[in-house]
Amino acid sequence: MPSAIATAPSSAPSKAASSVSSAFDLYDPSEETVLLRQTVRRFVEREVEPQVLEHEREEKFNRALFKRLGELGLLGITVPEAHGGAGMDAVSAVVAHEELAASDPGLTLSYLAHAILFVNNFFRNANDEQRGRFLGPVISGEWVAGMGMTEAGAGTDVRAMTTVAERDGDRYRITGRKMWITNGTVGDGELGDIFLIYAKTGGQISTFVVEKGTPGFTLGQQIKDKLGTRSSPTAELVFDQCMVPASNRLGEEGDSLIHMMRNLELERLTLAGMSLGIARRSLEVMNRYAMEREAFGEPINRFGQIQRHIAESYAEFLAGRAMVYDIARRIDLGAPGHRMETDAAKLFTATMCKNVSDRAIQVLGGNGYVGEYVVERMWRAAKLMEIGGGTLEAHHKNIVRDLARDPSFYR
């Protein structure tokens, strides 16, 4: 475990951190997770919250703050300590995403793309030589990483991708375009540093590590004016006969579907963690506002219409949180086997956080419609949870298909 987490002071924590229970439970099952939650909450309070509105409004990626995630040991959170990571589990990954998203869903999305879509994915599927070459700079935050699977005409339907990689001696020639890539750019005209790229090799799909500066690899369209998570940069990646060493291929040709399955459960679980953070912050804001705002001579939380918004949000948040952490505690990062459950967790929490943030705006009225009160930003970010990392419709399809294979799921 990195020293930044292991040595964080447990006495006299900040006000935010002091709300974390010291008793081990479903949400903080060990001393390690209690300490992690305290550390991330302090970091959020002191460094994330003060900058979030500016970077969201200006659609700027805060690279210096992102590097601080590396200094805290969070960018390699699921990588074993022997390889320079924090050696933590799925519960810890959810904790980090919940706490960060309660303040800055944009920064959290970039964090997820780096720590889960690249780092965890890469570590689980790379060989030792590849780990030695690439892990250090991405775990430290020196490099900003991402993953390129989606294309303009291929999202949920992965097999429809048109990017191809053709073997040419000891290299591969990659041609194609990837769209909607988180961390595709880290500033105006500047590519992210390193990516896992999926491309077709014959009739199969293979995975390649592609670094910035590789000939034929350029930045395409930089996607601006997104509904939410605007501090997380999104871009198109262009590959025009991009020559990549064969030593940058992960595993064998055609192994990508295995790679995807190994990483999918943690990806969807951490996205569900983001939804928890968004919902929690929205609930906190609406509850506090309803206690302080008066109408007709009394606080608005005395009115039944407002009570319904707050009470239903609280109940749904508790249900989602229990669901996500219960699934997380049973996941073995090295052995997938909970796809149906992680699909269900993301399916439920995505819509839950959108509904909670929507109710928060309703409770705040006009104040909820402006940036100063946070909930409009949470509402904008919440919609992405129903689309990114698997649409609601994809989760419906997966769950029904898996239930048909195993109708005894409840026994």
Q: Any idea which residues carry the catalytic annotation? A: 267
One-character DSSP codes across 311-364 = HHHHHHHHHHHHHHHHHHHT-BTTB---HHHHHHHHHHHHHHHHHHHHHHHHHH
Q: How is residue 263 written in tokens?
A: 């990483």
Q: Are 243 and 199 in contact (CB under 8 A)?
A: no
Instruction: Characterise 211 by phi-psi region: left (phi > 0), alpha (psi -120 to 50), beta (else).
Output: beta
SS3 of 214, please?
coil
Measured CA to CA, the distance from residue 372 to residue 376 in angstroms comes to: 9
Q: Minimal CA–CA distance to 42: which of 65, 18, 58, 62?
A: 18
Interatomic CA distance for residues 155 and 384, integer angstroms? 14
β-pairing, 234-245 vs 217-223, is antiparallel
Integer Cα distance of 170 and 173 in angstroms: 10
- Report d(CA 98, CA 284) in Å as an integer: 14
Reading the block at residue 277, the tokens are 């953070």
Rounded CA separation 232/219 (Å): 16
> Which residue type is seen at 199?
A
CA 40, 36, 264, 132 torsion-angle sign:
positive
Which residue reads 């930003």 in tokens?
Answer: 377
> Which residue spans within 170-316 are E strands per DSSP?
171-182, 185-187, 190-191, 194-201, 204-211, 217-223, 234-245, 249-250, 294-295, 298-299
The answer to whether the CB of 278 falls within 8 A of the CB of 98 is no
